Amino acid sequence: MLNSPGMLKNYFKIALRNLYKNKSFSALNISGLAIGMASAILILLWVRNELRFDNFYPNSNRLYQVWNRDKGNNGLNCWNNTTKPLAPALKQSFPEIEQTCRVNWDANILLNYGNKKMNVTGTMVDPDFLTMFEFPFIQGNIHTALNRPNDMVITEKLSKKLFGHEDPMGKTILLDMKHNFIVSGVIRDLPNNSQFDFEYLLPWTYMSTIGQDDSSWNNNSTHNFVLLKPHADITAVNRHIKNFVAKHLNAGATGEIFLYPVSRLHLHANFVNGVESGGKIGMVNVFLLIAAFILLIACINL
């Protein structure tokens, strides 16, 4: 039989004999195939990481960021900086919305613990941020970790830098040589394919403490996120909320807001005249073609 053990053994011997007779040529071809496969695998791993960007949250299919849309010199402009009072008002006004939160810009703050001083990047968020995005907690209660004005959630990485092998829970950290915060939770280090890049989280109330909170509907100065209820119709929700900010502004305001999927932010959030138009996904597709081309050339030259 063609596929009998004896026939396969003979084919194997013939292949080895040919490789031995043409050692230089065989080594060149095998090396080329190995390098091609390694290059393609590395590209595919990068592509996989990009395609999973912000897709790993348990509620990723219901998470949205609030965007602005308004007329400009070149048509409709879209941007994702929105007003500070927006998130709480949306939750109160629309039953399709389950939770909302504000996420401020990252801030580099001096932290002091004992003899240790370091500048660390983090941000201020509403408490619902924790349950909306559900970063895995190592210690603390995800539902209450940012409920008090002096609560502070830190990453596993920051915990090791500040406390070593000590239990961080309940420890007091001095911020900017002014305010004491108590560690109320520790979360696992963030993956590299998340839009967030923080080592600490503070409650949004700290914004008022440092004089950076405001109730102006004209000041687009933070990021607002929304978690829709299961089975909510995103098309209907966008229709209902589009004039919500304009109603809080002067008569004649033309701006609109809309919800954009968090899972599409990294790869697709490029807008031309108000319409989604490509984005980094184009680069991902190009690298996929390059990986396929490298494998094809390597196989042809074998």
pLDDT of residue 17: 63
Q: Residues 281, 286, 292, 294: is their CA dihedral positive or negative?
A: negative
pLDDT of residue 22: 61
* pLDDT tens series, the chain, 302 aa: 445 566 666 666 665 566 566 666 566 667 777 888 899 999 999 999 999 999 999 999 999 999 999 998 888 999 999 999 999 999 999 999 999 999 999 989 999 999 999 999 999 999 999 999 999 999 999 999 999 999 999 999 999 999 999 999 999 999 998 999 999 999 999 999 999 999 999 999 999 999 999 999 999 999 999 999 999 999 999 999 999 999 998 877 889 999 999 999 999 999 999 888 888 999 999 999 999 998 888 777 65
Phi, psi for residue 156 in degrees, rounded to 5:
-60, -40
Q: Is 56 left (phi over 0), alpha (psi -120 to 50) or beta?
A: alpha
- Measure the CA–CA gap between 11 and 246, rounded to whole angstroms: 76
CA–CA distance, 86 with 66 (Å, rounded to integer): 9
The pLDDT score that the predictor gives to residue 73 is 81
- Domain boundaries of the chain, sorted by first residue: 5-51+282-300, 60-98+225-269, 105-211
Structure tokens at 250: 């002067």
Its pTM stands at 0.87
